[in-house]
């Protein structure tokens, strides 16, 4: 292997190796993505992302989504979860028309292409101004279900990444504590790591029932896991 006089890999060689590694990773990811059965299924069924089948499996197991509910979808873009929720609340089998039984509010930092019957709010959920806008849309109503597929940009530094994940879970928990109905439900995306146990404990402080969910659509290599919390311990007048 080529080195300079000090025995250190030459800069050009290092850059070449990094580029080759990245290219191999991208090629592998693209191959896996194209051949992913959930990707193909999403394309056939008109969903914007394979992530829809994670929610679908959890919903079918736990019966989260019911007509007449008020549902908030955090981290909604590109919109597959919102699409699924809308389809479940649709008034008619013709999903393109007829409206829905319920209310769906979607929020994301990134722009989302419109979905009929869904109110979309673009902004950073961590900012008070954005939260205030969401509160204004909800008004005096309490929410039946809060869905959060939010995830931070991971740096690869375990301690820093878990702190970011915990912060996002805390935000969703705080919103749920203030806005969920007494018998409401919160579903958040999390990741296994050094702070996972602490996040579970925070859920148990707020909810009577807490359970992890690892749907089949979550890739085997991923540490992704979803946490389900049902029925708040505090009564509405205590909030």
Q: What is the CATH number of the domain that holds 130?
A: 3.40.50.150
Q: What pLDDT, in 10s, does the model give residues 196-229?
A: 999 999 999 999 999 999 999 998 788 899 999 9
The structure tokens listed for 158 are: 């375990």
Q: Is residue 172 part of a domain?
A: yes
* Average pLDDT, integer, range 74-96: 89
**149 marked as binding residue:** yes
Q: What pLDDT, in 10s, does the model give residues 147-177?
A: 999 988 777 676 777 888 899 999 999 999 9
* Co-location of 86 and 109 in the same domain: yes
* Co-location of 192 and 145 in the same domain: yes
Share of the chain above pLDDT 70, in %: 81
Q: Flag the least confident range among 89-98, 100-109, 147-156.
A: 89-98
What's residue 82's pLDDT? 98
Residue with tokens 């954005």: 130
* Co-location of 87 and 181 in the same domain: yes
Range of the domain at 83: 48-238
* Co-location of 40 and 144 in the same domain: no
Q: Is residue 41 part of a domain?
A: yes
Q: Is residue 2 part of a domain?
A: no
**108 marked as binding residue:** yes
What's residue 25's pLDDT? 40
* Co-location of 88 and 15 in the same domain: no
Query: Which residues neighbour 189 within 8 Å (Cβ) at sequence distance 6 or greater?
Result: 75, 148, 149, 150, 151, 224, 225, 226
What's residue 159's pLDDT? 75
What's residue 109's pLDDT? 93
With a cut of 80, say whether residue 75 has pLDDT above it. yes
Q: Is residue 193 part of a domain?
A: yes
- Give ∠ CA 73-198-189 in degrees, rounded to 5: 25
* Co-location of 39 and 81 in the same domain: no
* Co-location of 117 and 15 in the same domain: no
Count of structural domains, the chain: 2
What's residue 29's pLDDT? 41
What's residue 32's pLDDT? 53
With a cut of 50, say whether residue 189 has pLDDT above it. yes
Secondary structure string (H, E, C) spanning the chain: CCECCCCCECHHHHHHHHHHHHHHHHHHHHHHHHCCHHHHHHHHHCCCCCCHHHHHHHHHHHCCCCCCCEEEEECCCCCHHHHHHHHHHECCCCCCCCCECCEEEEEECCCCCCCCCEEEEECCCCCHHHHHHHHHHHCCCCEEEEEECCCCCCCCCHHHHHHHHHHHHHHHHHHHHHHEEEEEEEEEEEECCCCHHHHHHHHHHHEEEEEEECCCCCCCCCCEEEEEEEEECCCHHHC
Q: Is residue 3 part of a domain?
A: no
* Co-location of 211 and 164 in the same domain: yes
Q: What pLDDT, in 10s, does the model give residues 134-153?
A: 989 999 999 999 999 998 87
Annotated active-site residue in 54, 56, 88, 189: 189
Confidence of residue 70 (pLDDT cuts 50, 70, 90): very high
* Co-location of 230 and 129 in the same domain: yes
Q: Is residue 155 part of a domain?
A: yes
What's the mean pLDDT when you consider all of the chain?
85
Q: What pLDDT, in 10s, does the model give residues 19-69?
A: 555 455 455 444 455 678 999 999 999 999 999 999 999 999 999 999 999
The structure tokens listed for 115 are: 């979905």
Establish whether 214 is a catalytic residue: no
Q: Is residue 75 part of a domain?
A: yes
């Amino acid at each position: 292997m080529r080195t300079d006089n000090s025995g250190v890999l030459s800069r050009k060689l290092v850059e070449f190796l990094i580029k080759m590694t990245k290219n191999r990773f991208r090629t592998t990811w693209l191959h896996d993505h194209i051949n992913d059965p959930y990707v193909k299924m999403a394309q056939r069924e008109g969903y914007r992302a394979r992530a829809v089948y994670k929610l679908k499996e959890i919903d079918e197991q736990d019966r989260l989504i019911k007509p007449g509910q008020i549902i908030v979808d955090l981290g909604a873009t590109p919109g597959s979860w919102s699409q699924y929720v809308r389809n479940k609340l649709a008034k008619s089998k013709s999903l393109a028309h007829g409206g829905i039984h319920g209310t769906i509010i979607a929020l994301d930092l990134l722009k989302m292409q419109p979905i009929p019957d869904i109110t979309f709010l673009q902004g950073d959920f961590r900012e008070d101004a954005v939260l205030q806008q969401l509160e204004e849309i909800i008004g005096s109503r309490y929410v039946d279900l809060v869905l959060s597929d939010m995830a931070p940009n991971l740096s690869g530094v375990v301690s820093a990444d878990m702190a970011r994940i915990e912060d996002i879970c805390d935000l969703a928990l705080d919103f749920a504590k203030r806005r969920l109905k007494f018998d409401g439900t919160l579903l958040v995306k999390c990741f296994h790591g050094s702070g996972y146990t602490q996040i579970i404990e925070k859920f148990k402080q707020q909810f009577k029932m807490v359970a992890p969910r690892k749907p089949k659509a979550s890739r085997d290599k991923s540490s992704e896991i979803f946490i389900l919390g049902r029925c708040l311990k505090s009564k509405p007048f205590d909030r």
